[in-house]
Amino acid sequence: MAKIKAEELKQKYQRMLNTFVREKWEEIPSEIEVKFKNLKLWGFDLISGLKGGVQSFFVANEDDMRKQGDVYEEEGETFEVHEILKTIPKGAKLLVRVSLEERRGVIRAYYKSENGEETLLFTLPAADLLLVYFKKRGYGKLLESFHACGLTTEFISKRGDQGRAMEFEKLPLKMRRVMREAWDIIRKKTKTGRFTLAYFGKNKDGDDRYIITWLVPTIYLFDSEIAERIDKLLATVK
């Protein structure tokens, strides 16, 4: 095993000592209800029609531009479009569930009718949908810092060379504000998560040098309001 030199150990210790953490852990919910608009933001149309000859609800890729009367086949199943829904009936819900399967996060979306009957709309690797969703919505910082996706999704945002990490008392007000707002999101919105910040000062061009990591429950990233708020906050750190 290679030995760490005394100076390297000293630098590592100093960096770890000044990597600041905000975190809170509760049980990640097994499902959340999302607004109808999220389906469109993910790139789907919600359709009422026939699936395999049976009246049902299903989704189609928005880019396919399905319209009333269309009949098409996917994966051996026949679909007939009766209506592209602009809203969902009163009392109905759209639900999202995220699980860990085969070492990766998987999302399932359901339509739950007013009488409680659930219809599976789609099953996808969570990372696949998140990447498409972030690109479609222009969430550049989430796309850029996306690192890994399971029950939680990890974002790593960094800039410049690492060096001596600054003590908390010497952090610029902008960095303190980012920590405060990240904690606000964790505490009030996601209830669970971990945010870290190490700040190394500015480079010769006056640009901030830093490393930020953020663990977010994957299920909450499918709430567009939360995803947008995280993206905007990370975008303020330039």
| Residue 73 falls inside a structural domain | yes
- Are 114 and 151 in a shared domain? no
- Are 50 and 81 in a shared domain? yes
- Are 58 and 120 in a shared domain? yes
| Residue 1 falls inside a structural domain | no
- Are 105 and 144 in a shared domain? no
Burial 203-233 (b: 16+ CB within 10 A, else e): eeeeebbbbbbbbbbbbbbbbbebbebbbeb
213 touches 92 (CB < 8 A)? no
Q: Choose the final residue of a domain: 129, 162, 191.
A: 129
| Residue 15 falls inside a structural domain | yes
Q: Which residue range(s) make up the domain with 188?
A: 6-28+138-235
Give, as one character, the DSSP assignment of residue 236: T
- pLDDT truncated to tens, each residue of the chain (238 aa)? 567 787 777 788 788 888 999 999 999 988 899 999 999 889 999 999 999 999 999 999 999 999 999 999 998 899 999 999 999 888 999 999 999 999 999 999 999 999 999 999 999 999 999 999 999 899 999 999 999 999 999 999 999 888 889 999 999 999 999 999 999 999 999 999 999 999 999 988 888 999 999 999 999 999 999 999 999 999 998 7
Instruction: Say what the pLDDT of residue 2 is.
Output: 62
Domain count, the chain: 2
Instruction: Say what the pLDDT of residue 148 is.
Output: 95
The residue ranges of DSSP E strands in 27-169, in sequence order, are 32-34, 44-51, 54-61, 71-74, 77-84, 93-101, 104-112, 118-125, 146-149, 152-159
- Are 18 and 50 in a shared domain? no
- Are 124 and 144 in a shared domain? no
pTM over 0.85: yes
Residues 6+ apart with CB under 8 A from 29: 217, 219
The DSSP secondary structure of 68-99, one letter per residue, reads TT-EEEETTEEEEEEEE-SS--TT-EEEEEEE
